[in-house]
Amino acid sequence: MRRLRAVLMSMWLAGTCQAQEAARLAVPEVLEASGFAQFIVPRFALKSGLRISRVSQGEPAEMRFVATDPALFEGLGQGWTLMHQSDPRAMRFADWLRSDVGRKTIESFVAPDGSTFKAVLRSAGSQTAPTYDGDRADGEQKSLRLCGRCHVINDSNRMNGMGATPSFAVLRSMADWDDRLATFHLRNPHPSFTQIADVTDPFDPRLPPPIVPLEMTQTDLDAILAYVSGLSPADLGAPLHVQ
């Protein structure tokens, strides 16, 4: 009985501490350097009473500013949105960024170099994330089969990943994850062992692949993109392991 009480007490304590902890917002370097994040976060905190701490892009966070379309606001030559997994604090922040006050705050920011930001009105139709045509279930199988000998794809091959290789969840949490995936065959170390039918040049006969080659089609890659698009960005709350 006493044990039960101790357990309940520690659960209660954990709950309370969590509520008081600042929610972490991961801010890409360019956005941080512009001064925008330092400007916007305290103004929201002031209105909401919620504490938000800014962390860098590779760190675990409850929410992230990511460069993407459709955008919540635009600045520094690209669109930005707030990515999160329905964390209540992140939802309030997103709502505020979309509200009149939030939009005015966004637009009142002036960077040291004079550049400004624009709040983007999101019409009902443009709220959906970009879609990928590939077959997601197939993409999961293809990811495991083609990429899973080096990358952690999901729980089912968590033990197989190579240490310094980013997991797919980590890749997914990068602002330009789709670009990186769509061009992975051009990015090291893949060119030396990857063949996408009708896309890559054949291997140089004088430089045979050093390992079992990775042979696939563009359809396979589309399926992988569709699968990764549906992943939660590194399960935002969970620790990321970025080397």
Task: Point out which residues bind ligand HEC (CB under 6 A).
Answer: 146-147, 149-151, 165-166, 171, 180-181, 184, 187-190, 211, 214, 224
List the structure tokens of 104. Answer: 């005015």
What's the min distance (Å) between Cβ of 240 and ligand HEC?
14
Of 31 and 171, which has the nearer Cβ to ligand HEC?
Answer: 171
CA distance 60 to 235: 9
Of 90 and 224, which has the nearer Cβ to ligand HEC?
Answer: 224
CA angle (79, 85, 86) in 5-degree steps: 105
Centroid of chain to Cα 213: 29
Of 120 and 171, which has the nearer Cβ to ligand HEC?
Answer: 171
Nearest to 172 by CA among 128, 230, 219: 230
CA distance 174 to 172: 5
- Spatial contact of 130 and 229, defined as CB atoms under 8 Å apart: yes
- Spatial contact of 105 and 151, defined as CB atoms under 8 Å apart: no
What's the min distance (Å) between Cβ of 81 and ligand HEC?
21
Of 108 and 183, which has the nearer Cβ to ligand HEC?
Answer: 183
- Spatial contact of 171 and 180, defined as CB atoms under 8 Å apart: yes
What's the min distance (Å) between Cβ of 17 and ligand HEC?
36
Of 163 and 202, which has the nearer Cβ to ligand HEC?
Answer: 163
> In the block, which residue shows the tokens 């399926």?
223
Cis peptide, bond prior to residue 70, ω within 30 of zero: yes
What's the min distance (Å) between Cβ of 4 and ligand HEC?
48
Letter for the amino acid at 232? S
Of 125 and 202, which has the nearer Cβ to ligand HEC?
Answer: 202
What's the min distance (Å) between Cβ of 123 and ligand HEC?
32
Of 97 and 214, which has the nearer Cβ to ligand HEC?
Answer: 214
CA distance 75 to 79: 6
> In the block, which residue shows the tokens 């969590």?
18
